[in-house]
Chain A
Amino acid sequence: MPELDELESRLDALVEGDFQRGLEVFRSKLKEAEASYLNSCVHCGLCASSCHYHRADATLENVPAHKLDVIAAVFKRNFTAMGRVAPGLVGARTFDREMAKAWVDAVFGRCSLCGRCSINCTIGIAMPRIFRAARAALGAMGLTPSDLQATVDNSLQHGNNMAITQEDWVETVQWIEEELQMEVDDPEAKLPLDKKGAKILFTVNPREPKFFPLSLQASAKVFWAAKEDWTLSSDPGWDLTNYGLFNCKDDEAGAITQNLVDAMERLGCKTLVIGECGHGYGAARWEGPEWLQKSYPFEIKSILELMDDYLREGRIHVDPSKNTVPVTLHDPCNLVRHGGICEAQRRVLRKSVTTFTEMTPNRAENFCCGGGGGQLSMARYKNRRIQSGGVKAGQIKDTGAKIVVAPCHNCIDQLMELNKEYKLNVQIKTVAEMVADAIVTTA
């Protein structure tokens, strides 16, 4: 595997200055909360089974506390008195090549930053905050896995993470518009592009125009039924994804967020609506303002909240009998646990389908599908990703559902692989697709 060798050789080539730079960046990411987290672990080990990596492969390296420990060991050695005076006693370690390797393995190779361990930790350590600081440090040392970095570079260079040209994007939108017009038998049904002053700027995951045009068509159908005043952007502001959340280079993440802010300003829209994507929502809604160090001058919402509003306000009407196949719901970590969007999608689904079965556990206790944290883009860890996804596959099987609804296109990619690997025989759809199928237009 060339990427594996490449990362190994980058590790081998590290010099003293690299470690120093890594430590400086790591320190710069720590605030009061993180310093407290790094002083708190009591090594009780109770967090082990909260992690899907450990559930799938019960080794020490997969225990969240162990992943935290390799980071905390370096923190103690460099930033605490006891770590300097008695490193052996408190488990402090010098940041050397071996530790850098352990960091890479722990935070890139064995963690999807899902945060399930945080809420199950005896003390309450929000571990992904520490792992993100470590990823940032490794990035400063040139140790970001190159395929993860390539995804970010695509966004920076092409304005979207799949390097779709503006021409292709616009053509796809026009083609989907024609499809929608045929579907709803209304020549006025539109996918507006660059409509200045529209109330809503809708953003999508590039996987939609590239591989899942029906998802975009479904969202457009919902907007059409709600008679919404909305638009897409033809410039980079159409892509909601931001893998800067995963390479943890805040300047790059901020530059990608700026695309959305610029599009909102250019088009003069009131509300930025993030399509069905967990990390995209987390990045735009929660981290974006922190990366840019300023509050947005506009409202930001998930399309799930919007569909919930439409149904509550009677702007759209659905007939659940149009969706009779048993459905279950996947909770994307960045949307639910880290994003706070938990009940809207449930209210929407309950109204749109006849049989909805929850996975156990669900909501903030959900298991990651295994594809989060940038894992989908890091080929070198594919086997672990598929293996750890076995936990989600088991949850799906237990529901007996035939459709898995996943409000996240990254999760959908992973779930499609799990579908094959674990022979789940399910369909995987977005919430908007379910709603679009249930929409009744004569009400």
Chain B
Amino acid sequence: MRLLVLASAIWTILAMAFLHHKTKGFGKRTLFSKPAGSPRKGALYAFTRGMAPWAKESVMLNLPSYVAGMAFHAGVFSAFGLMCLALLGFELPFFLLVIAQVFTLLGAIGGLSLFVKRIVKAELRGLSCPDDFVSNLLSTAFALLAFLWTLVPSMESLWLAEGALLLIYAPIGKIRHCLFFFTTRYHLGAFFGRRGTFPPEGNSHA
């Protein structure tokens, strides 16, 4: 099982590297207009203050979904952390284990709630393709199994197999956003930074 997880992880890394390389292959745009601001500062803003919930109206208007999403991501990352430690044979100190349990459980709940939302809300359902459901289910199950494994260690094989499946699927579907989130956000920040829009000066909700 450990070898399967390792092979899956290697596949994920190689496939993501290939996707990145392919995207790079589209080429960089040479820009001729004189910049009004700094792309670097814009990108920095996009990754920091620009991601704060209060900086985004879309977050403030959808706080429950935002919280569920954050919990979901935290849970999946915690589960990956646990998996790495399990593969390396490390045992977590008790208080860290409790934190990991809280994160993975909340992550699974967050993932499940987003899954239900996707089914129940007509607009979101209309926006979805099968990949959205598969990606959610694989990730939610991974977080949930990680939580259960902390209570029932004999579930390790099932959890690791599910983890391998998640790793194999990641570059295939929308989980690839774990790569493209960073490149997209960088480009957004650089674009608005160059134009002097990011970082913003005034309070746009005043």
Q: Which residues of A contact B (CB under 8 A)?
A: 30-37, 39-50, 58-60, 63, 65-66, 69, 82, 86, 88-91, 118-126, 129, 285-290, 292-296, 300, 336-343, 346, 358, 360-366
> B100 to chain A: closest CB distance in Å?
25
A369 nearest CB across to chain B (Å) = 16
Complex CA gap A337/B174 in Å reads 29
**B-side contacts of A86, CB under 8 Å:** 172
What is the bound-complex CA distance between A42 and B129, given in angstroms? 10
| Bound-state Cα–Cα, A58 to B37, Å | 36
Instruction: List the B side residues contacting A126 at CB < 8 Å.
Output: 187-188, 191
Assess whether A286 is in contact with B180, with CB atoms less than 8 Å apart.
no
- B154 CB–A CB distance under 8 Å: no
In this complex, the member of A91, A287, A290, A339 whose beta carbon has the largest number of chain B beta carbons within 10 angstroms is A91
Task: Show the binding face of B for A, using Cβ within 8 Å.
Answer: 19, 22-24, 26-29, 31-34, 36-37, 46, 50, 56-59, 61-62, 65-66, 69, 121-124, 126-132, 134, 172-174, 176-177, 180-181, 183-185, 187-189, 191-192, 195-197, 200-202, 204-206
Complex CA–CA separation, A342 to B195 (angstroms): 11
14 contacts across the A-B interface (CB closer than 8 A): A31-B28, A33-B29, A40-B177, A46-B62, A58-B123, A60-B123, A121-B188, A123-B177, A294-B32, A295-B33, A296-B34, A339-B195, A364-B200, A366-B204
Q: Which residue of A lies closest to B32 (CB)?
A: A289
Given A47-B58, A123-B185, A125-B188: A34 touches B26 (CB 8 Å cut-off): yes
Chain B residues whose CB sits within 8 angstroms of the CB of A337 once the complex forms: 192, 197
Most chain B CB within 10 A, of A47, A122, A124, A340, is at: A124
Q: Is the CB of B177 within 8 A of A42?
A: yes
Cα distance, A154 to B195, chains bound together (Å)? 29
Contact of B131 with A91 in the complex, beta carbons under 8 Å: yes
Contact of B26 among A35, A49, A362 (CB under 8 A): A35
Contacts of B62 in A (CB 8 A): 46, 49
Contact A90 B129 (CB under 8 A): yes
Given contacts A39-B180, A295-B34, 4 further A-B contacts (CB under 8 A): A36-B183, A39-B19, A90-B174, A361-B205
Q: How close is A210's CB to chain B, nearest CB, in angstroms? A: 29
Residue from the list B27, B32, B123, B200 in contact with A290, Cβ < 8 A: B32
Q: How near does chain B come to A29, taking the closest CB pair, in angstroms?
A: 10
Q: How far is the CB of A323 from chain B (nearest CB, A)?
A: 21
Contact of A60 among B31, B127, B130, B174 (CB under 8 A): B127
Q: How far is the CA of A40 from the CA of B202 in the complex (A)?
A: 29
* CB of A405, distance to nearest CB on chain B (Å): 16
Are B126 and A66 touching (Cβ within 8 A)?
yes
From B19, B57, B173, A50 is in contact (CB under 8 Å) with B57
Residues of B within 8 A of A45 (CB): 121, 123-124, 127
Q: Chain A residues near B27 (CB, 8 Å)? A: 31-32
